[in-house]
Amino acid sequence: MDLLLLEKSLLGLFLAIIVATMVSKLRGKKFKLPPGPIPVPIFGNWLQVGDDLNHRNLTAYAKKFGEIFLHRMGQRNLVVVSSPELAKEVLHTQGVEFGSRTRNVVFDIFTGKGQDMVFTVYGEHWRKMRRIMTVPFFTNKVVQQNRAGWEAEAAAVVDDVKKNPEAATSGIVLRRRLQLMMYNNMYRIMFDRRFESEDDPLFVKLKALNGERSRLAQSFEYNYGDFIPILRPFLRGYLQICKDVKTKRLQLFKDYFVDERKKVASTKSSSNNDGGLKCAMDHILEAQQKGEINEDNVLYIVENINVAAIETTLWSIEWGIAELVNHPEIRKKVREELDTVLGPGVQITEPDTHKLPYLQAVIKETLRLRMAIPLLVPHMNLHDAKLNGYDIPAESKILVNAWWLANNPAQWKKPEEFRPERFLEEEAKVEANGNDFRYLPFGVGRRSCPGIILALPILCITIGRLVQNFELLPPPGQAKLDTTEKGGQFSLHIMKHSTIVLKPRSF
């Protein structure tokens, strides 16, 4: 591996003499660029800062260079903003100018070069996709239509855990069962389908392909070819694997879900038993029939939901449970609130979540300290722009360090502590919807995550039911769960999927 890296480096250096002057002139071209480490020809700052541009590393650079700084990563400009004021400028005030998405060589494969909604550039296609996805997925009506299903899936988790004798003794990796729950939550909305068990062959295949997609997309292994185009031939094998996974995933989506839903819709139509749109895919297929989108767009919508809605919410549930296991005094307060407001043994439902301020504070605190997308999804300016008095060259990758905004001790009281009370006391007016630019777990503005309307009630229902029905404990001989973080290109999840002891409560 070291020899391969050396070969790539030598190839880059071979061309450095030819292009160094051009790169130097480009940097000096009338632009007043944000501060940052001095780049070298070809490689820019890549050799200095490395691949792992996670939220903590970028926070360290912000402390050195300021609230806005620039990394030149090979041929790519990476601009990082780390203050509420500049976050507001990027996401709101200049939301149009910075409203596009930068992709990379791998995300181009998985999104068909932006045929989806999440990674497409800002423009007519994005507006169309956002509109088509909003009605069947991201409205209060959708929540009310599907909340009983979410409550049923959470109840099924509780029942399955109670039936597993290991859960109350040595413990289980609860994430595995919660993953099935999240797939069922979203596939019920999308296709009016669910998987009966973790052993369902179709679920196993789907989960494996989605997991491989996430691993390939979030890895730092391909950065060298993305940053330095002349090294891209060395990525040929990696990119071929990505193409193969993409082909298999889209074919699975089409054969087992989209086409099956078309057959159901056709049967309903032929029998004149049209009771209205039953699931999100009916609405999306209707948009395709009208010529608003094509078949590829349909499949990329399914791709977005599989990645953006399922895994991110699952990560947040996992973080929340881990924090409650490690903070029994907080877990006790959540249970006391549930028992007092609802009554012992009365299971939480979606309408109840609005009557449980401490549980809501626990969810907010989880999203603050353990933000699933700590740098948000990267933004991009299609044209040269200005930010904080600096010139931002066209097609720069703009990262908002949302984790640091929510964990900066200059802005928050003891941010390193998991303390839900802050959202009932000094930060009582702060909400997860972006009403305060210090706290943006779902982003804000045109490119904010619309899934907030689904994620928050699912988080409350799931964590609430688990606290109501079980004592959540670390495994025998272990004082606390390991909450070491693992990051990707812009994700953050727990490194080790925790084994948790769940002892049923008696009411």
Any long-range contacts for 445-449 (C-beta under 8 Å, 24+ apart)? 445/91, 445/92, 445/95, 445/99, 446/95, 446/96, 446/99, 446/122, 447/91, 447/95, 447/99, 447/101, 447/122, 447/377, 447/379, 448/91, 449/308, 449/373, 449/377
33 half-sphere exposure, CB direction, 13 A CA radius: 21
Helical H segments across 414-506, by residue range: 452-469
**Angle formed by the axes of helices 174-191 and 452-469, to 10°?**
140
| Cβ neighbours, 10 Å, residue 460 | 23
- Assess contact for 42 and 12: CB atoms under 8 A: yes
Element (H, E) at 141: helix 140-163
217 half-sphere exposure, CB direction, 13 A CA radius: 21
**Reduced to 3 DSSP states, what percent helix, strand and coil does the chain have, rounded to the nearest 5?**
55, 10, 35
Q: Check whether 242 is labelled as a binding-site residue.
A: no
3 state SS of 399: strand
- Assess contact for 185 and 305: CB atoms under 8 A: no
Q: How far apart are CA 358 and CA 352, in angstroms?
A: 12
Sheet with strand 470-473: strands edge to edge: 172-173, 499-504, 470-473
Helical H segments across 434-477, by residue range: 452-469
Any long-range contacts for 432-435 (C-beta under 8 Å, 24+ apart)? 432/363, 432/364, 432/367, 432/456, 434/91
Q: How far apart are CA 104 and CA 322, in angstroms?
A: 33
* Tokens 């070819």 belong to residue: 225
- Assess contact for 280 and 309: CB atoms under 8 A: no
What are the tokens at 162?
A: 């109670």
CA distances from 186 to 81, 300, 439 (A): 33, 15, 26
| Cβ neighbours, 10 Å, residue 141 | 10
Mention every residue, 6+ apart, whose C-beta is less than 8 A from residue 324.
330, 331, 334, 362, 463, 467, 472
Which residues fall in the annotated binding site? 449
Which residues fall in the annotated binding site for heme? 449
